[in-house]
Amino acid sequence: VKPEEKEETEEQKEKKHKTFVERYEKQIKHFGMLRRWDDSQKFLSDNPHLVCEETANYLVIWCIDLEVEEKHALMEQVAHQTIVMQFILELAKSLQVDPRACFRQFFTKIKTADQQYLEGFTEELEAFKERVRGRARARLEKALREYEEEERQKRLGPGGLDPVDVYESLPAELQKCFDVKDVQMLQDTISKMDPTEAKYHMQRCIDSGLWVPNAKGGDGAEKGAGEAAYEEIRKENQESPKENGAEDKPKP
């Protein structure tokens, strides 16, 4: 029996897979949990429609999901059945027959302990499990990167800078001011710094939201806000150092 040779589009394949899974998911999962060769052969004999690419594809995705969920032992169990299905499909290709017509031959070969065939099966199973672990790691790493980017976007200040990045770039003496949340210490430190460097750091602190200028300065993220804040701090320190901090507030 020759398999039907019909080229399908990706959309048709996806629709076919979805329909198949919706109809047979329970049976596919049952097959994935079988352990003995005889049980697998009998189940496929009773449900020959499962001997197809859709079942193999579902099992592969299920393995990755299980590994992501850290259900390692269950992943290895399902991986075994995934390779059973893939070996049946490969055998069908080599014989140029419908896979439903040759799955019994696979079980005959594997159960009669054809050493070379059994070794090939074991090697492919171990390689597959390693690929699943790699795919699971990649999926977790991608999810982590997306989460970190979402959190970074939430942190961005009015000028679009990340307060964490800005804080880590500050000189140690400025970091200490934010650590202890001391406005007076921050103003004193800024006043003693080189004006150019101080204005640079003040602008970045404002753009990241680490430093919130007084209400008169608007949202504080406009160009030159750092220089204006620096001049204001320097002026206040010269006139009345004890009164600082009433309007300008560093954020924790």
Query: Do residues 169 and 132 both lie within one domain?
Result: no
pLDDT tens digits, residue range 90-121? 999 999 999 999 999 999 999 887 788 889 99
Query: Do residue 135 and residue 51 come from a single domain?
Result: yes
How far, in Å, CA of 99 to CA of 89, rounded? 6
Name every residue whose Cβ is closer than 8 Å to that of residue 180 and which is 6 or more positions away in sequence.
none
**Weakest mean pLDDT among 21-35, 41-55, 182-196, 218-232:** 218-232
Give the model confidence (pLDDT) of 155-211 as tens digits: 888 888 989 999 999 999 999 988 988 888 888 888 888 888 988 998 898 888 888
**Domain CATH number, residue 49:** 1.20.58.610
**Which of the residue ranges 130-139, 184-193, 243-252 has the most confident prediction, judged by mean pLDDT?**
130-139
CA 4 to chain centre: 39
Please answer whether residues 78 and 66 qualify as being in contact, where contact means their C-beta atoms are separated by less than 8 angstroms.
yes
End position of a domain, from candidates 122, 152, 182:
152
Judgement on whether residues 17 and 130 belong to the same structural domain of the protein: yes
d(CA 7, CA 10): 10
**Which range of residues forms the domain containing residue 173?**
163-250
Residue 143 within any structural domain of the chain: yes
The dihedral sign for the CA sequence 41, 43, 46, 52: negative
- Same domain as 148, residue 24: yes
Question: Mean per-residue pLDDT for 41-51?
Answer: 97
Report whether 88 contacts 51 (CB < 8 A). yes
Is-above-0.75 flag for pTM?
no
For residue range 144-155, what is the model confidence (pLDDT) as tens digits?
999 988 988 888
pLDDT of residue 250: 54
- Give the residue, 33 or 1, on which the prediction is more confident: 33
Residues 144 and 22 in one domain: yes
pLDDT, tens digit, for every residue of 71-82? 999 999 999 999
Whether residues 177 and 88 fall in one domain: no
Same domain, 182 and 113: no
- Rounded to an integer, the average pLDDT of 203-224 is 67
Question: Does residue 148 share a domain with residue 168?
Answer: no
Do residues 23 and 142 both lie within one domain? yes
Phi, psi angle pair for 67, to nearest 5°: -70, -40
